[in-house]
Structure formats: structure tokens, C-alpha cells
């Protein structure tokens, strides 16, 4: 019998998809769960896949690959979609899709499948990632049958699929880089998120004492915390814990989805918040004013493309090449202070620093001759002054 390979989380959506592929398409189903740090019970997911009748199941540990191939480039790009979202889910989807395609080739499958709805961004990310590396047809039953949660539950019950009977307050997606919280009371954009929405970040009884952390970077890559070298997954996990305990990392904003809808999004991103803040600050010290100006533009474009599911778009690779080239001097140490749920940079140093204390100081030992500035100022404003005269513009008293 022909096979379909499904990106499988074990939740309601993908459980329904297994049965849909079996009954509506007559396909054997191979399920694939990719570990990107979501912390699920992978043995339980494997058991559920078998109970649903999947012919085989793969659990793939891709945590280190996720950090090195997706999170590190995001740090180097200071990637925040609409200046807020660290792209945790967006970064994981092309990697998960890649693993699904690899399994499909190994299994000789004839179709690829996912459990995304037609309202969200993930359908775009999965479809485009599948299309970039495979010619197999893509099956998306939740979207294609226009199923809502109630319809899915009914479909599952009619086919003997065991589902959780306790309703979840929120829809959660998480990995090493962040935790996305949706649904329930959060669909009212004026409603404050309840405290129990947050797991990674302390929102009550915060310590009055500040927490200081130093992060060491080597060519734009974080390599140590508080002078202790750490491996990729360990470093991010550690910062999630330390910054989360200090109340850092809650994001609550209105987001423009790829499909044209606006959505209220709530995230927990303690480690990402610290790393991007530290990295972007270090860049300001080691890059020229001209590099910093263009880098901000390129960073914004990189984040936009990643969010929109265009990970394999040639422009994303072009922008990424520019960003990687700028990282050769982004080496140094940044000191962060976390207190009351906020984080700010309180110190930075680098062997590539363009900050010159001897010329910047206002003290008597300054090496900067102020008299040289007069001619510069006159030339700097010459065109503006001339334009104002010709256009008859005068400053009113």
C-alpha cells in the first residue's frame, strides 16, 4: 500500500490526520516527531502513533541542528519579527519539514502530510519547505476539510480515536528558542494573560535583587555564560532558566500573520530576549555607523522572510550571506542586568571595539581637537541651509 509521511505531534490535529489519511486516501501512515526542544514525552507519542495504526514511527533528535543551523543565524540577524517575536516556531518548521522529507525518501512514500489549519502561518511554512525539497503531493486534511476543533473531535470519536477529554486553556507550541501561547481568553486582545499561561517566566514574587549575566560571543555566536563555555543546547537552556526566573522574556503584541489576519500573540522567550539584546549591542560597538544602518535593514528583511515561510527563498540566503560576513568582528563580552522583569545591557567589551575612550572623553586628557569640528559642521549643513534660503523657509521666533 502507498505511504504518506506525516509530521506528527501526537495532539488532536495530527491524530485526526492519521485516520483521515488511512480512511479517506487508503494510505499507510508513517509518523515523524522531531525533537527541537519542546520537552514532550516521546515514548508516549510513539505509543500513540502505534495505537492509531501508523506502520512506523520516527523520533529524531534535532536539537543541536536546530540551534546551529537556525537559531544561531537568527541571533546573528537580531531576528525579531515586527520588533517583537523571536521566530521560535517559524525557525523550527523548515527543519521539521526537512526531516519529514528525508524519511519520505527513505520509506519510498508517495505523499507528505501535516496537521496545520488554513488560518495560521505554519501551513505556509510546511508547504513551502516541502515544495523546496520534494515533488510529492502535500495533504493537509485540517485545512482541506475546513475542520474546526468541534468537527475534529467528532471525526475522532466516530473513528475510535482516543483524545484528551480535559480541555486545554491554551494552544501551546514550544521549542528551545521560545514558547507560543494562543487561544482561550487570549483571543480578547484587551484581556491580560492570566499568570498560569506562563511556565518559563516568573511573573509574580520577583526578587528585588538584580541578576547579572555575562555572555561571550565569538564571531556572532554565543559560546559562554559567566565565563563558562557551554554547548549550543546547554547555553540556551541555561539562559531560559536564569532569565525566566528573573521575569524576563514575556512578549504580548498584535501580529500580522502571513495569511492576512491580525492575531494577538503571547510568547515566553527569556533566553532569546537576552541573546538578541546582547548581540545587537555588541554589534553597535564593533561595526561602523554605515554597517549598523544597513545591518538593521537586512536584519528586518531576514526576520520577515523567515516568518513568512520563505526560508528557502534565494533572497533569504543572500541576506544571510551578508549578515554572516558582518559577524567576523562580533567577538566580545556583554554584561546584562535583569531586574523586575526587564533586561538591559550594562557593559560590553571587545578587541574589535571602535569606541576610543581617549578621543570620546570630555576630560582634559582628550586627544580630540574640538576646533576641527567647526568646518565640518558648516559643510555638513551647507545644502540644507541653502535649500531653506531658496525655498523661502525661515524659522519663526
Q: Single out the catalytic residue among 46, 93, 202, 348.
A: 93
Helix or strand holding residue 299 (H, E): helix 289-307
Can 13 be counted among the known catalytic residues?
yes
Distances in whole angstroms, Cα of residue 51 to Cα of each of 54, 60, 152: 8, 20, 18
Task: Please report where in the chains the cell 522567550 appears, as a residue.
Answer: 269
Other CB atoms within a 10 A radius of the CB of residue 158 amount to: 10
Q: Is the dihedral of CA 47, 48, 54, 56 positive or negative?
A: negative
Of 237, 302, 299, 309, the C-alpha closest to 274 is 237
E-state strands within 157-315:
171-175, 178-182, 211-218, 221-225, 228-229, 250-256, 262-268
Q: What share of residues in the chain are helix, strand, coil (percent, to 5)?
A: 45, 20, 35
Q: Single out the catalytic residue among 56, 117, 132, 171.
A: 171
Contact assessment for residue 112 and residue 137, using Cβ atoms and an 8 Å cutoff = yes
Q: Is the dihedral of CA 232, 234, 240, 246 positive or negative?
A: negative
Of 50, 91, 46, 54, the C-alpha closest to 73 is 91
What's the length of the chain? 397
- Cα separation, 136 vs 238, in Å, equals 40
Helix or strand holding residue 32 (H, E): strand 28-35
Other CB atoms within a 10 A radius of the CB of residue 303 amount to: 23
Of 118, 113, 105, the C-alpha closest to 22 is 113
Q: Single out the catalytic residue among 9, 46, 49, 122.
A: 122
Can 41 be counted among the known catalytic residues?
no
SS3 373: helix
Question: What strand order describes the sheet that includes 332-339?
Answer: 228-229, 221-225, 211-218, 332-339, 342-349
Can 320 be counted among the known catalytic residues?
no
Strand partners, 265: 253
Task: Please report where in the chains the cell 549643513 appears, as a residue.
Answer: 381
CA atoms within 13 A of residue 165's CA, in its CB half-sphere:
1
Write out the catalytic residue numbers.
13, 93, 122, 171
Amino acid at each position: 500500500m502507498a505511504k504518506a509521511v506525516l509530521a506528527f505531534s501526537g495532539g488532536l490535529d495530527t491524530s485526526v490526520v492519521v485516520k483521515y489519511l488511512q480512511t479517506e486516501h487508503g494510505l499507510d501512515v508513517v509518523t515523524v516527531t522531531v525533537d527541537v526542544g519542546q520537552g514532550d514525552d516521546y515514548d508516549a507519542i510513539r505509543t500513540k502513533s502505534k495505537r492509531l495504526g501508523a506502520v512506523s514511527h520516527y523520533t529524531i533528535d534535532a536539537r543541536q541542528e536546530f540551534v546551529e543551523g537556525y537559531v544561531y543565524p537568527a541571533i546573528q540577524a537580531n531576528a525579531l519579527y515586527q520588533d517583537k517575536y523571536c521566530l521560535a516556531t517559524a525557525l523550527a518548521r523548515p527543519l521539521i519539514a526537512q526531516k519529514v522529507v528525508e524519511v519520505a525518501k527513505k520509506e519510498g512514500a508517495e505523499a507528505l502530510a501535516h496537521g496545520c489549519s488554513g488560518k495560521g502561518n505554519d501551513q505556509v511554512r510546511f508547504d513551502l519547505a516541502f515544495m523546496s525539497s520534494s515533488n510529492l503531493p502535500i495533504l493537509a486534511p485540517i485545512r482541506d476539510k475546513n475542520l474546526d476543533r468541534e468537527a475534529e473531535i467528532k471525526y475522532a470519536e466516530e473513528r475510535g480515536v482516543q483524545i484528551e477529554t480535559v480541555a486545554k486553556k491554551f494552544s501551546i507550541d514550544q521549542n528551545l528558542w521560545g514558547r507560543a501561547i494562543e487561544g482561550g481568553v487570549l483571543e480578547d486582545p484587551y484581556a491580560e494573560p492570566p499568570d498560569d499561561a506562563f511556565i518559563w517566566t516568573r511573573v509574580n514574587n520577583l526578587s528585588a535583587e538584580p541578576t547579572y549575566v555575562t555572555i561571550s560571543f565569538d564571531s556572532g555566536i554565543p559560546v559562554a555564560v559567566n565565563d563558562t563555555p557551554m554547548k549550543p543546547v546547554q547555553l540556551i537552556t541555561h539562559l531560559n532558566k536564569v532569565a525566566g526566573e528573573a521575569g524576563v522574556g514575556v512578549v504580548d503584541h498584535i501580529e500580522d500573520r502571513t495569511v492576512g489576519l491580525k492575531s494577538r500573540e503571547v510568547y515566553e522567550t527569556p533566553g532569546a530576549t537576552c541573546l538578541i539584546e546582547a548581540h545587537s549591542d555588541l554589534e553597535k560597538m564593533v561595526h561602523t555607523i554605515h554597517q549598523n544602518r544597513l545591518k538593521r535593514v537586512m536584519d528586518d528583511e531576514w526576520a520577515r522572510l523567515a516568518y513568512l515561510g520563505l526560508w528557502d527563498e534565494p533572497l533569504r540566503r543572500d541576506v544571510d550571506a551578508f549578515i554572516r560576513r558582518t559577524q567576523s568582528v562580533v567577538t566580545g563580552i556583554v554584561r546584562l542586568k535583569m531586574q523586575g522583569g526587564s533586561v538591559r545591557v550594562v557593559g560590553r567589551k571587545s578587541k574589535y571595539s571602535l569606541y576610543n575612550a581617549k578621543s570620546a572623553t570630555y576630560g582634559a586628557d582628550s586627544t580630540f581637537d574640538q576646533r576641527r569640528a567647526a568646518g565640518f559642521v558648516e559643510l555638513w549643513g551647507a545644502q540644507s541651509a541653502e535649500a531653506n534660503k531658496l525655498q523661502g523657509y525661515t524659522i519663526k521666533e
